[in-house]
Amino acid sequence: MAELMRMPEVAAGAAEAVLSQWLVEQGAAVAAGDPVAVIETDKAQVEVEAETEGVVIRLLVEESRQVEVGSPIALLGSRAELAGDPDELLRGLGVDAGSGAGVPAPERRDVPEPAPAIPAGPPAPPARPAPPAAEAPVPAAAPAPATSRPFISPIARRLLREAGLDGAGISGTGPGGRVVRRDVEQHIAAQAAPDAPAQDAPAPAPTGRADRPAAGEPVETIEHSRLRRTVARRLSESKQTVPHFYLKRTARLDTLLALRAELNERTGHRISVNDFVLRAVAEALVAVPEANVVWSDDAMLRYDTADIAVAVASERGLVTPVLRSVERMALGAVSTEVRALVERANAGALKQHELEGGTISVTNLGMFGVDEFSAIINPPHSAILAVGAATPQPVVVDGALEVGTVVSLVLSVDHRAIDGALAARWMGALVEALENPYRLLV
């Protein structure tokens, strides 16, 4: 029986989301749990799965469209219903099929509608039975629409639309002759190539400076991505509405670095200094549970697990996926999970639940040689720890001067949730854990 697939509430409290990409085509069979579409939220791209088994009768929303939560996005049904009238099915489900609100005209190339069209006109052929050669053009004309309107995958159709092309003349290399992304990219490149000499010919450019912008003019205009807009909005709101204060401590890491080298050699794990920092942050939250809180307008929310967000500068922008219950994780598990989160962030495959929760974030610029910096709190977290580079510095031990490897730590704190003395206690517990790293192995 036909049923509607609706836009899910992929983020708590979200009223709408963008249908970024279809992963199936009309006529495709899907099983329960199969990914059907990619939904783009403020923070990530989320794959939406089919809830039941069926056939995709019609895709009701074009790619890159903003859709309200709960609105129909696809019509699923049986193979027999695929050959029927989808508008009638939609009306039966209470959807106005004639409204055209975001519903693209389907390409039903695989539905055998041309076959009944041949017997539908039997009176015309008997009027001219004599010349058999006259019937030759009839079958020749039938394939013409198919070649002029090839079946095109959703992402290939979007590329064509952005390039201002209609897809005519493109040979598909996908299943069943379908035009896929690589076909469109090759077609666009082939069309651009002949134009290049004509564009270059009239340009004298004897000095190579003719195409440079005038002084003070931008060399490029880069449109903001949804993720960049979201990061800008959230951090602006944080700085304007959250009363920040900052604490700075340094920690000596000689023992930690020696332990890290030993573990990497013995276990084969590639454990980083940041993995130790994350485990030490969890240890500090356990030691000072009053700091494991989040401020809300009605109450203070306190947690008993160390859920820590990790700032990841992914290829798609800044995201902060959350590691759960870090206080129970071994260092090797922390290292493995962080790498997996980074890979999913770069691929745009983070799930929404991986970006929610936590009470504190950790951001590390030490690998870029940054000695010290302050970070903006990522709401609703109560704090963010900024980690600088570990560098050799003079330190005093028992009145004697020696060289030690020292890291600078700056904690940005929400003063509504955590007072200065409490934050200082937490920083003390963090430094204690970093300077005695063997306890992090337990």
- Residue whose tokens read 């489900």: 93
Beta carbons of 431 and 249 less than 8 angstroms apart? yes
Catalytic residue list contains 415: yes
Predicted pLDDT at 348: 77
**Lookup: tokens for 302:** 């306190």
CATH 4.10.320.10 fits 145-193, yes or no: yes
Q: How many Cα atoms are found within 13 Å in the side-chain-facing hemisphere of 329?
A: 24
pTM: 0.63
Note the pLDDT of residue 349.
81
* CATH class label, 244-441: alpha beta
- pLDDT of 125: 47
Q: Considering the candidates 244, 269, 381, 415, report the single residue annotated as catalytic.
A: 415
Which letter does DSSP use for residue 179 in this model?
B
Q: What is the block-wise mean pLDDT of the chain (442 residues), using blocks of 10 residues?
A: 83 72 91 87 75 90 86 90 85 70 42 43 46 42 41 68 76 70 78 52 50 75 78 86 96 97 89 97 98 95 96 84 96 94 86 89 95 94 97 93 96 97 98 96 83
d(CA 302, CA 338): 25
Residue ranges per domain, the chain? 1-130, 145-193, 244-441
CATH architecture of 1-130: Beta Barrel (2.40)
What integer pLDDT is reported at residue 323 of this predicted model?
A: 97
Please provide the DSSP assignment of 281-304 as one string.
HHHHHHH-GGGSEEE-SS-EEE-S
Which element (helix H / strand E) includes 155? helix 154-163
* Burial class (CB within 10 angstroms; exposed 0-12, middle 13-18, buried 19+) of 409: buried
CA distance 111 to 123: 25
Considering only CA atoms, which of 326, 223, 341 is closest in space to residue 278? 326
User: CA-CA distance, 340 to 176, in Å (whole number)?
Assistant: 36
Residue 179 — left, alpha, or beta (φ > 0 → left; ψ -120 to 50 → alpha)? beta
Residue in the block written with tokens 């600078």: 408
CA distance 82 to 58: 9
